[in-house]
Amino acid sequence: MKENVFNREAKVIRKARSALSDGTMQGEGAEQAYSDLLSEYEKVVRQSKRLLKMGDRMQNALSSLNEELLLREQTFRGIFENATEGIYRTDGEGLILEANSALAQMLGYSCTDTLLCRIPEIASIFSNPHMLAQYRTSLMNKRVVRGMQAKLRCADGETVWAEINAGAIETQSAEEKQAPGVVGVIADITERKRMMREMCRLARTDCLTGLWNRGYFVELAAQEIVRCRRFGSKLSLLLVDVDYFKRVNDQFGHDIGDKVLIGVAETLRSTLREVDVVARFGGEEFVVMLPDTELKAACKAAERVCQVMREQDFADKGDTPLPVTVSIGVTAYQGSETTLDILLKQADLAMYSAKHKGRDRVECCSLEQAGNF
C-alpha cells in the first residue's frame, strides 16, 4: 500500500490543529474544521475495517492454501513411500537426494538411509558403463528416459534387471536460480526377463526330448549356410531315424516309446560335440548339423553314433532288454548353390538307402550324387 493514501486526511488534521493553536476555534471556521476532521476520521475507520476484513480473507485463503499443500504433500509422501516401484530424485550432478523404501528393498538394502549412505549418486547403481552412458545421453538430449532396460548392482554384488523411466525437472532455488534435477521410477523386471527367456526356450525346443525343434534348427542351419558361402567353411548334415520305432510303440506302449526317444536324444547329445546342433525333426527322426566338418569326418561321427546306440539298453530297470538301432543318412555342403532344402533331401535319400540295405547303418551321399541336386 502506498504511503500517500491518507494524505487528504493528514491535511484536515493539520488544519484543525492550526485552528486550535491560533485560538480561532471559535466560530464557523473552527466548527467546519472539526466537522471535516470527524468526517475524514470516520472514513479512515471505515477503510481500516475494510482493510482488516481483506486481511482476514487473505489469511483464511493462505491457511486454506497451506492446508491443501500439506494434504498434497501427505498424498505425495504416501505414494512415494508405498509405491511398489523404486522412486528416486537427484540433483543436476546425479547425487541422490531422495529414494523410497521400494528402491532400497529392490537393491537389497535394509532402509533408505543405508541406500543413500552406500550409494551417494545414481551412477553407482549401474552395473554396465554403456548402460549408464545411454541413460545420461538420453537425459541430455531428450530430457527423458523411456522404458530403458538396464542391469542394476545390488548390495550383495548381484544384479537385477530393471526398467527405468525418468525425466529432468527444474526447481527454483533460494538464490532465484534454476537448479536442474531428475526424478525417476525403477521397476524390477528380473522375473519378466526370466519368463521371456523361458518362453523363447520353449518356442525353440522340443517339449519331449529337450532338443531344438525343427523350426529353430532350420533357422540355425540357414545362418550356418550363409557363413559357409561367405567364408568357404565346411558343413555336414546327419539325418537319424530310429529303426522299427512303430514296433516299440505297438509292443511296449507309447510311454516306453517316449522314453526311447528321450534316450536317443541323450545319446546323440553325449556322443557328438558341443558345437554340433542336434534337433528333433519330427516323430522318430532327428537331424544333426556339424559345423566345420567335411563329409568323411561326418560319416565317422555317424558310425560312432550307430555304435553307441547298439550298446544302449532303453528298457526300464528289471524290464525286458530293449535295444534300439538307428539308420543315418549323411551329406555335406557342396558350394554356393547348396541350400538347406537340398541338404535335407540328400540326407533323406541317404537315410532311406540305409534302411533299404538292412538298417542299423550309415549311408553317405557321395559328392557325385550331391552334384546332381
Catalytic residue ranges: 284
Amino acid at the residue 117? C
Are β-strands 326-332 and 362-364 bridged in parallel, bridged antiparallel, or unpaired? parallel
Alpha helices, DSSP H, located in the chain: 7-22, 28-82, 101-106, 112-118, 129-142, 190-204, 214-231, 245-252, 254-271, 295-310, 340-356, 367-370
Distance CA 35, CA 42 (A): 11
C-alpha cell at 32: 467546519
**Dihedral, CA of residue 133, residue 136, residue 139 and residue 142, to nearest 10:** -30
The 8 Å CB, 24+ separation contacts for 279-282 are 279/206, 279/211, 279/212, 279/213, 279/214, 279/216, 279/217, 280/206, 280/208, 280/209, 280/211, 280/212, 280/213, 280/214, 281/214, 281/217, 281/239, 282/214
Under 8 Å between Cβ of 113 and 100: no
Q: How many CB atoms lie under 10 A from the CB of residue 72?
A: 10
